[in-house]
Amino acid sequence: MPVLRLEMHPGRTLEQKRAFVQEATRVTVEILQCPQDTVEIVITEVARDAWAKGGKLRSDG
């Protein structure tokens, strides 16, 4: 702990994930003042037909 969970739509590259966990960890360490090794991040991809906003699936645009 701290644990960060990121939910996002699919489509990002491995390189983007790599950069995200590096930068998000740095921000966490600097601002929350915790050892770098304790920061964990879990990424979950949510398909567009599994997420709705305002009552409408994203896949229905």
Q: Which of 2, 3, 9, 47 is catalytic?
A: 2
Q: How far is the CB of 11 from its own copies (least distance, A)?
A: 9
Interface positions with its own copies (CB under 8 A): 1-9, 12, 14, 16-28, 30-34, 36-46, 49-57, 59-60
Residue 10 catalytic? no
The span from the CA of 30 to the CA of 58, in Å, is 35
- In this structure, what DSSP letter does residue 33 have? T
Report in angstroms how near the CB of residue 42 gets to its own copies at its nearest: 5
Helix (H) or strand (E) holding 20: helix 14-32
